[in-house]
Amino acid sequence: MCAVVGVFDSPRASKLAYYGLFAMQHRGQEATGITTSENEKLHTIKGKGLVTEVFDEEAFNVLRGDMAVGHNRYSTAGDDSILDAQPVFARYSLGEISVVHNGNLVNKNEVRQDLIDKGAIFQSFMDTENIIHLIAKSKKESLQDRIMETIDRIKGAYNLLIQSRSKMFVIRDRYGVRPLSMAKLPDGGYMIASETCAFDLVGAEFIRDVRPGEMLIFEKGQEPTSIQFGEPDFRPCAFEYIYFARPDSVIDGKNVYETRLKMGEILAKEQPCDVDLVLPVPDSGVASAKGYAKGLGVPFEMGIVRNHYVGRTFIEPTQEIRDLKVKLKLSPIQNLIKGKRIAIVDDSLVRGTTANQIVKMLKDAGAKEVHMRLASPQIKHPCRYGIDTPSYEELISANMSLEQICQKVQADSLGFLSIDGLVESLGKDQNYSLVSFDGNYFID
Ligand code: 5GP
Ligand code: MG
């Protein structure tokens, strides 16, 4: 989760960063922020809320300069305080820096304790703050050397953008777990973003993905330079394709929508069923449901309507009317559903809450049979590299058999895509990170 954006050498740096963050709002809705660099000074605006809520005309008057980094924060189980919003800005012996980070450091507690033992104080619970401390405390003379030393201390999945007054450093960890791409701006200059949908919005031209273990350095008046700081062991995250990324994005050479169609088609081969109609759980199940319907040769209908205005501000219904919660967001088209045998496709099953409510909703709408299909394998392990999957206790597939889950969600049948089927739909050319499914924690 989370989105990062960087703009280098553009008179519209803050606006372009803003558009990039807007295009990537799906990667985080908790908080957002931008730091720009103007000659001798960095300017930061950040706050809780959506991109369109945090930045107004006044913000852009502050965010002057021709370089910018930005961030959207995804709310996790942890702290949701404003102190956990990014960019993280600091003044230190070499001047000023601002850092944005997507990913998750697996040795954050260890590094933090070591820093605290040496007298450091922390404002937030973010692992990103470790990074800024490590840079500030380093004895190396140049920022670049300090960043190199910092990279040696941190372990995990990270995409980092570090902006000083005159430079921007772009870093993708050697596993390349989270996506990160580079583009050329129409008026010169460069843009970096978690997803290519950010480029499409501003008319930036995709150049290439940042390589695993690569550091790019952007400096005024010079072409960007590249340093390979770590041995690449490319493990792109499968969950970006399954759920997280926007369907129009291209991640490491593959269009997300097309991989989802494929997941659905392969699911139809592995878990067919005899039905009249295939419906998606909107919006996350749409592409894979389409693939599933195509694979079965059965009609596809948008049989459940989603209300897009259910925001974070909606007052939560009380316990007694919990049922209302899903109905606020999703509503079935009864005329389509009544008396039919239905296959309902979603991208993934996490706690099982959505499936449970959807099956009930379809049965209440008069469906004769409801067959639940998931276009990803069973999530049996929490991800530690930046996807917000809950602990073992909350993951339904870590605690129940297929039959038990089917019974709990009250479906007539239940079927998941296999791990092999997932890999086949993504293509066998990469060694994907499948941690949530196979529990192979390849970083420590
Ligand atoms: P469940 O209701 O089983 O807990 O979650 C399944 C639903 O959550 C699916 O519709 C899926 O699209 C969505 N989902 C999967 N992964 C994530 C995630 O990391 N964050 C959020 N917000 N939703 C997710
Ligand atoms: Mg969903």
pLDDT at site 27: 95
- Ligand 1: which atom is nearest the Cα of residue 357? 2
Q: Which two tokens stand for residue 291?
A: 């693939």
Going from the Cα of 358 to the center of ligand 2, the distance in angstroms, rounded, reads 11
Q: Which two tokens stand for residue 388?
A: 């917000």
List pLDDT tens digits, range 388-404. 778 899 999 999 999 99
pLDDT at site 143: 97
| Minimal-distance CA residue to ligand 1 atom 21 | 388
CB-side exposure of 420: number of CA atoms within 13 Å?
2
Going from the Cα of 180 to the center of ligand 2, the distance in angstroms, rounded, reads 24
Give the CA dihedral 315, 316, 320, 326, nearest 10 degrees.
110
Ordered by start, the domain boundaries in the chain are 3-234, 256-438
Q: Is 121 exposed, middle or buried (0-12, 13-18, 19+ CB in 10 A)?
A: exposed
Find the mean pLDDT for residues 361-384: 96
List pLDDT tens digits, range 418-434. 999 999 999 999 999 99
Residues touching ligand 1 (Cβ under 6 Å) are 243, 281, 284, 346-355, 387-388
Superfamily of domain 3-234: Aminohydrolase, N-terminal nucleophile (Ntn) domain (3.60.20.10)
Residue with the larger pLDDT of the pair 387 and 285 = 285
- Ligand 1: which atom is nearest the Cα of residue 387? 19
pLDDT at site 77: 45
pTM of the model: 0.95
| Minimal-distance CA residue to ligand 1 atom 15 | 348
Pocket test for ligand 1, best of 29, 72, 322, 348 (most atoms within 8 A of CB): 348
* Ion ligand 2, residues whose Cβ is below 5 A away: 284
Find the mean pLDDT for residues 286-298: 98
pLDDT, mean over the chain: 93
pLDDT at site 314: 47
Residue for token digits 């008319």?
A: 203
Are 361 and 411 in contact by the 8 Å Cβ rule? The answer is no
325 phi/psi in degrees, rounded to 5: -55, -50
Would you say residue 313 has pLDDT above 50? no
pLDDT at site 444: 76
Going from the Cα of 317 to the center of ligand 1, the distance in angstroms, rounded, reads 20
**pLDDT band for position 302 (cuts 50, 70, 90):** very high
Catalytic sites, residue numbers: 2
pLDDT at site 187: 87
Topology of domain 256-438, CATH: Rossmann fold (3.40.50)
Would you say residue 370 has pLDDT above 60? yes
Are 169 and 161 in contact by the 8 Å Cβ rule? The answer is yes
**Measuring CA to CA, which residue among 24, 59, 339 is closest to residue 179?**
24
Would you say residue 142 has pLDDT above 50? yes
Find the mean pLDDT for residues 254-263: 98
| Minimal-distance CA residue to ligand 1 atom 20 | 388
Would you say residue 79 has pLDDT above 70? no
